[in-house]
Chain A
Amino acid sequence: MTKFIDLTLNGISTGAIYAAVALALVLIWRSTRIVNFAQGAMLMFTTFIASAVISSGGSYVLGFVVALASGFVLGGVVERVVVRPVENAPPLNAVILTLGLYTLLVAIAGMIWGNSPRSFPAAFSLHGYTVGGTTLLFTPNDTFIVLVVIFVAVLLALLFRRTTLGLRMRASAFAPEVARLLGVRVGRMLTLGWSLAAMVGALAGVLVAPSVFLGPNSFDPILIIGFVAAVLGGLDSPPGAVVGGLVLGLATSYVSGYEGDALVPLAALVILMLVLMLRPTGLFAATRERRV
């Protein structure tokens, strides 16, 4: 029973990280209909920047803020420089470009920071809480992870639902041409969408880095699971991404706890296949009738 509770709590914490990764993918898919394969490399890069800030004497908080800020900037730059020029080309062009960007960022990170993984500090203690004499796997740092991701998800929901900026962004995502005809500067909204997405990705990077170590390729497995979570949630539904992330977090936690770590990627792929076979539009299908 303790083991089950442990695995559940652990699943919620990793699920929060998957949710953040899935959110980053979903925000970009929604606004530009591109699966951003560079997302893993982007969040790796911003985490390295945070690591550089911290190892040169900056506080954890400073590193955290720098990671989010550089994610915001990087997302905007990628949209302007890489995605914008192929805006009117077939979507596959942009997808291939993000793959190229992935390779490029991984190579640059290797050149600057080397290829051997380094440790990354956690915000809070990594010693589990002790309840009635037993020590749980759930740590104060896990609490931090879950709370931060909830906070960001709520903030995004408020931005989209309650502000005029969010209304403009949603309109630009759903119907770019109509939005332009209503005076919305769609280009800026798309850039902002990429910036926000990359910032959420950067957040996932600093949150997960303490448990995976930091290297040019160390986030790849998380990105694959994050992608499955996004698909499970329907790929264009932010709440779906959060739920998908939690489901994947719990599923992978149980699988690794009861069956062993080695089966985790396999489990994720099985879930992906099941979703695509049984409910291809995801659990939170937002695909309604688009135009009449």
Chain B
Amino acid sequence: MLTIEDLTTDYGPIRAVDHVSLEVPEGSVTAVLGANGAGKTSLLRTICGLVRPTSGHVKVEGEDITRWAVEEIVRFGVAHVPEGRGVIAELTVHENLRLGGLWRGRDAMPLREIYDLFPRLEERADQPASRLSGGERQMLSIGRALTGRPRALLLDEPSLGLAPVLVAQIMTMVRRLADTLGLAVLLVEQNARSALSIANRGIVLNLGRVVAEQDPQKLASDERLLHAYLGF
């Protein structure tokens, strides 16, 4: 579904992503773990076209989308939920949601379905997004990405700044979305345990390089590895 081949990204002299290869099949969650500055966000920003890679390829269902413009990549079905959530504070909740599906035209996911998934958003539909709490913003951001009926979902630190209860809720929701919609989810997290609890595959990044790629249960019990790269 989503295939990353030997992807390398440089910011000037700094190598942010270093020959990363990975595969996210349909209906699965791949967790990418790593400390601050490990290159997780850079990896996602390269995949969705916000940053140009130095070398390597990004493919979606066999199609090479590596050097496409951001909006064309999105229109090909790769939705990115950025770190800090990227909610447009000046627009209402309803407007934010509609915006996500505009490019799909009539095939956009009806907002009814989004509101069924996240009832809190319906209660706040006509309020500016600036009034939402952190958890609500996260829901809005994910819901908004879904309105375009993506095939792949890139999530950048959805647990950031959320209470543990909310983190668990969001993770359960992500798992359910992968299962019911057949989404290929690439989940970037510092919160290793909650990410691994729902993942099919776990990858650890350090200094832009893949240092471990394993079954999530094994990874979660590998104290030495987690301690070395994530500081647990």
Cross-chain contact A164 with B102 (CB below 8 angstroms): yes
Which listed residue (B82, B95, B130) contacts A181, Cβ 8 A? Answer: B82
Which listed residue (B50, B89, B144, B148) contacts A177, Cβ 8 A? Answer: B50
Q: Answer yes or no: A174 CB below 8 A from chain B CBs.
A: yes
CA–CA, A174 to B87, complex, Å?
11
> What range describes how many residues of A lie at the interface?
20 to 34
Q: Smallest CB–CB gap between A27 and chain B, Å?
A: 16
CA–CA, A171 to B97, complex, Å?
12
Cross-chain contact A291 with B84 (CB below 8 angstroms): yes
Q: Answer yes or no: A214 CB below 8 A from chain B CBs.
A: no
- Give per-residue flags for B60-84: 1 if the beta carbon is below 8 A from chain A beta carbons, else 0: 0000000001110011000110101
Q: Answer yes or no: A192 CB below 8 A from chain B CBs.
A: no
Considering only residues 153-197 of chain A, those with a C-beta below 8 Å from chain B are 164, 167-168, 170-171, 174-175, 177-186
Residue on A with the closest CB to B77?
A: A183
Cross-chain contact B102 with A181 (CB below 8 angstroms): no
Cross-chain contact B91 with A171 (CB below 8 angstroms): yes
Also in contact, A171 and B99, with CB within 8 A (given A185-B71, A291-B84): yes
Q: Smallest CB–CB gap between B99 and chain A, Å?
A: 5
Q: Answer yes or no: B39 CB below 8 A from chain A CBs.
A: no
CA–CA, A178 to B48, complex, Å?
12
CA–CA, A164 to B103, complex, Å?
10
Cross-chain contact B98 with A164 (CB below 8 angstroms): yes
Interfacial chain B residues near A289, Cβ < 8 Å: 89, 130
Cross-chain contact B89 with A182 (CB below 8 angstroms): no
Cross-chain contact A181 with B98 (CB below 8 angstroms): no
Cross-chain contact A180 with B74 (CB below 8 angstroms): yes
Q: Answer yes or no: A111 CB below 8 A from chain B CBs.
A: no
Q: Answer yes or no: B100 CB below 8 A from chain A CBs.
A: yes
CA–CA, A170 to B88, complex, Å?
10
Cross-chain contact A184 with B71 (CB below 8 angstroms): yes
CA–CA, A168 to B50, complex, Å?
19
Residue on B with the closest CB to A168?
A: B102
Interfacial chain B residues near A186, Cβ < 8 Å: 71
Interfacial chain B residues near A286, Cβ < 8 Å: 90
Which listed residue (B90, B130, B134, B148) contacts A182, Cβ 8 A? Answer: B148
Q: Smallest CB–CB gap between A149 and chain B, Å?
A: 25
Cross-chain contact B71 with A180 (CB below 8 angstroms): yes
CA–CA, A179 to B144, complex, Å?
11
CA–CA, A42 to B95, complex, Å?
34
Cross-chain contact A288 with B74 (CB below 8 angstroms): no
Q: A177-B82, A181-B74, A182-B102 are in contact. List 13 more A-B contacts (CB 8 A).
A: A164-B98, A167-B102, A174-B91, A175-B88, A178-B86, A180-B50, A181-B48, A181-B50, A181-B82, A182-B74, A183-B103, A289-B89, A292-B89
**9 A-B pairs with the lowest CB-CB distances in the bound complex, closest first:** A183-B103, A183-B74, A178-B86, A180-B70, A174-B90, A175-B88, A183-B75, A182-B100, A180-B71
Show 25 residue pairs from A and B whose CB-CB distance is below 8 angstroms, ordered by the A residue.
A164-B102, A167-B91, A167-B95, A167-B99, A167-B102, A168-B102, A171-B88, A175-B88, A177-B82, A178-B86, A179-B88, A180-B50, A181-B48, A181-B50, A181-B80, A182-B74, A182-B102, A182-B103, A183-B104, A288-B89, A289-B89, A292-B84, A292-B89, A292-B130, A292-B134
